Amino acid sequence: MSEHVNFDFSRMARTGIPEVIYAEGKEKASVLKLLENFALEAEKPILFTRLDSITFSQLDPQLQSKYCFDSLAKTAYTNKIAKKVEGRVAVVSAGTSDGFVTWEAKRTLDYLNVENQVFEDCGVSGLWRLQEKISQINSCDIIIAVAGMEAALTSVLAGLTSKPVIGVPTSVGYGVCAGGQTALNSMLACCAPGVAVVNIDNGFGAACMAYKILLSCKGFIK
């Protein structure tokens, strides 16, 4: 373990979710050391988020093979959480430009051993695409809605489902989109009830919220 990191090994017991390593902002040498240490104990589940491909590529290839890495989602994990929670989550995105957030959410759900399905490119500029998929989306227990720009997708989805919707505003968009602030405000102002909103680009946080809802309501598969 890196001498600069005081890892919280008991977090899973306290909160239901183990500590996850947020790589962005850490010294590259520290991240590589953490990757190396956890690769040597690959049977223990660990998730890295905001891990860029340049840093990961500098890890020894034999140690890289211990991880499931995705360059778009910027995530890497060794094993999934052993216990599988009941229920299924739909991850619905407005556009493929939101992919880095969409797939962070999907990959976090994978790591947490939650069944999930991604529905990409369902934005309101082509409502027929959402209409084609809404029955499949509604077959899931929870919906994560990922959208930038004006983020209208979240309001539309919330008006078409009885399932809880977790909105994830993204930083995608021009000018007045203000790095996701417009999308965030739009989701917070949603008139359809049953919507919770996480921080901008926080696909990880949305996945954890979905996991905790399922864990509280349904529990683990026995």
Could you tell me which residue, 220 or 83, shows the higher pLDDT?
83
Mean pLDDT estimate for the chain: 90
**Residue ranges covered by each domain of the chain:** 11-77, 88-217
pLDDT tier at 19, thresholds 50, 70, 90: confident
Position 84 pLDDT exceeds 90: no
Q: What is the pLDDT of residue 130?
A: 92
Alpha helix locations (H) across the chain? 11-15, 28-39, 53-57, 61-64, 99-111, 127-138, 152-158, 181-188, 203-217
pLDDT tens string 178-196: 999 999 999 999 989 889 9
69 vs 48, 104, 105, 108, CA distance in Å?
A: 9, 11, 14, 12
Per-residue pLDDT band for 10 (boundaries 50, 70, 90) equals low
Bridge partners for 212 per DSSP:
none
As to burial, measured by CB atoms within 10 angstroms (0-12 exposed, 13-18 middle, 19+ buried), residue 176 is exposed
The answer to whether the CB of 156 falls within 8 A of the CB of 137 is no
Q: Does the structural domain 88-217 have CATH classification 3.40.50.720?
A: no
Interatomic CA distance for residues 66 and 86, integer angstroms: 27
Task: Report the 10 Å Cβ neighbour count for 9.
Answer: 10
The tokens of 71 are what? 């360059």
**Residues 91-116: what's their mean pLDDT?**
95
109 contacts: CB under 8 Å, gap ≥ 6? 89, 91, 116, 207, 210, 211
Task: Please tell me the pTM assigned to this model.
Answer: 0.91
Does the pLDDT at position 155 exceed 70?
Answer: yes
pLDDT at 105 over 90: yes
Strands 75-77 and 68-70: antiparallel
160-164: average pLDDT: 94
Tell me which long-range contacts 120-127 makes (C-beta under 8 A, separation of at least 24).
120/93, 120/95, 120/96, 121/93, 121/94, 121/95, 121/96, 122/92, 122/93, 122/94, 122/153, 123/93, 123/94, 123/95, 123/147, 123/152, 123/153, 124/94, 124/152, 124/153, 124/156, 127/156
**pLDDT tens figures, 58-68:** 999 999 999 99
d(CA 92, CA 83): 25
Instruction: Tell me the C-alpha to C-alpha distance, in Å, between residue 117 and each of 81, 111, 167.
Output: 18, 14, 16
Q: How confident is the model at residue 42 (pLDDT cuts 50, 70, 90)?
A: low
